[in-house]
Amino acid sequence: MLRFMFVGDSMTIGSAGEHTWRYRMWQHLLASLGDTDFAVVGPRDALHDKVSGEPVSYDYACSDPAFPRHHFAGWGEGWLHMAPRMAQAVRRDGPDVLLISLGLIDLGFYTNAEQTADNARRLVAAARSANPHVRLVLLPVIPNIRARTDAPFAAEVARFNVLLAKAVADLDTGASPLLLASTPPSYDIDVDTYDGTHPNESGEHKLAAAFAEAMHQAWGLGTPYEATPPAPHEPAPAENTAANTTANAAELAPTG
C-alpha cells in the first residue's frame, strides 16, 4: 500500500466550505489505484477558518465520510516552516510519497529565491532522514495575482522555479526519486481561482492533475487524470463572497 502525504500552504489546506485539491486527488487515486492500494496520511486534518484565522474548521464541501482528510499543510506556511517539521511528520505517519506545493508564501514574505530553494533542499534532506526511500513530487510556484502586478516578485518566482528544477535534478536518486510536476498549462487565475491565488473547483482539478500526470508519466503510477464530479449527495461548495476574496488576496499583498 502506498501512503501519500499532501504538503503545502493555503492552496493545499483549503478553507471552510471548499473541497480542496486534496479531495480531487483522492478521487483520482481511488479511481486509478483502488481503495485498498493507497492511503492518505498526515498529522493534520482541518481546514483554515477565515473568521478565527486558525486551522479549526471541518466544514469540508465533501460529505463523503470515506474521504481521508489527513494532510501536512498550513495557511501562511512555506518551505521555511515545513522543513524543520518534515522529519517528524514522516516518522510519525510513514508516507511513501510526498506531494508538495510550497513557495508562494516564502517568496511573498520571508525569503528570496535562493534562500527558498535552500529551504526546499533542507526539506528533502529532512524527509529522507526519516525515510531514505521516500518519493517526492514538487510543484513549481504557479501563477498568482501578486506576480501579475508586482514585477520584482514575479522575477523572484521565476528565479525560484528555475532553482527548484535544478534542486530536483541535483537531488534525484534511484533510492529516493524526486519529480518536478509541470505548472498546469491552462491555469488561469481569472478562471481557476476565486481571488487570484486560491483555487476554485476548476483550479482544484488542475492542481490534482499536475501531480497525477507527473506520477503517471514518470513512474507509471496510476492513470491519466480525469476530473471526477462530486457525488450526487455532496453539497455544492458555497460561493466565495467579496469579503472572502478580499481577505484571501490580502494574504499575498506586498508588505511594507
Tens-digit pLDDT profile for residues 167-213: 999 999 999 999 999 999 999 999 999 999 999 999 999 999 999 99
Summarize the confidence of residues 56-66 as an average pLDDT.
Answer: 96
Summarize the confidence of residues 5-34 as an average pLDDT.
Answer: 98
- Residue 16 DSSP label: T
Residue 241: the pLDDT is 36
pLDDT(61) > 60: yes
Per DSSP bridges, beta strands 38-41 and 2-8 are parallel
Residue 229: the pLDDT is 54
pLDDT(133) > 90: yes
- pLDDT-derived band at 17 (thresholds 50, 70, 90) equals very high
Cβ atoms of residues 188 and 135 within 8 Å: no
- Residue 237 C-alpha cell reads as 461548495
Cβ atoms of residues 83 and 41 within 8 Å: no
Residue 49: the pLDDT is 98
pLDDT(245) > 50: no
CA distance 95 to 98: 7
Residue 227: the pLDDT is 82
pLDDT tens by residue, 99-126 = 999 999 999 999 999 999 999 999 999 9
**DSSP alpha helix (H) spans, 96-144:** 104-105, 113-130
Prediction pTM value: 0.90
**DSSP alpha helix (H) spans, the chain:** 10-13, 21-33, 79-93, 104-105, 113-130, 145-149, 151-171, 189-192, 201-219, 242-250
pLDDT tens by residue, 201-243 = 999 999 999 999 999 999 999 999 998 654 443 443 443 433 3
CA distance 16 to 51: 10
Strand partners, 178: 136
pLDDT(253) > 50: no
CA distance 89 to 246: 33
